[in-house]
Amino acid sequence: MTGWTPRRAHFWRLLLVPLLLVSPVTAPAEAQQPSLLSRLDASSRYQIEVLMDSAARLGLPPEALMSKTLEGISKGAPGSRIVQVVRRHFASLREARAALGVDITLDELSAAAGALQAGVPRTSLAALHTNRKGSSILMPLVVLSDLVSRGVPPDDASSAIVSLTQRGALDSDFAGLRRGVETDILSGASPVTALDRRTREFPGRGAPGARIPVVPTPPRQETPSSTQ
């Protein structure tokens, strides 16, 4: 059994035709993807194809699953392990889509799936999306996953990032938080202490999109003129 059924072959034709129309610089690298899949055993390859087909039908990015597959192949992972990782990523993409809806970019969706796999609660994703009020949640998600990877418990990291979005933090603020926490950890602070210290330093900017209140100028006091 090769795993290349007519329906799978049709799927790959649909996937590859747009790639043949791109520039000559990128086309050769992209066209190598199906041949790289041939390095998998037939059973693993078939399961990957089924998952990608399912992703396409659900409006999820099959290229995200392909990327995970190629990463596993490049690392020399066994086919069964690659299938396990890709299946888990597929489930995370579905969960992220359910939490965030369709009004997000593919990069945001992939970052949200990664955050879920890191242990971030699904409710935190929805809170980020709500708090940012139409702005991209990519940077908060990237920083959130980075904090967890540095040893901050997922619940603590999620609480801090959600709180910052409520206080109007910008992408530059999240980038600064990431650098600050990294610096403090390298200086010997625990991940939780570093995050707590850096989030306390953030003064807040108000809700995203909110108008900055105008503080009335105090009336100018006239200085009594001296009499001659």
* Sequence-ordered strand ranges (E) for the chain: none
Model pLDDT, residue 206: 55
CA-closest candidate to residue 47, choices 16, 78, 15: 78
Question: What tens-digit pLDDT sequence spans the chain (228 residues)?
Answer: 444 444 544 444 444 444 434 444 444 444 456 667 888 999 999 999 999 999 999 999 999 999 999 999 999 999 999 999 999 999 999 999 999 998 899 999 999 999 999 999 999 999 999 998 879 999 999 999 999 999 999 999 999 999 999 999 999 999 999 999 999 999 999 999 999 999 998 877 654 444 333 333 334 445 454 444
Separation between Cα atoms, residue 99 and residue 97, nearest integer Å? 5
Q: In this predicted structure, what is the pLDDT of residue 198? A: 95
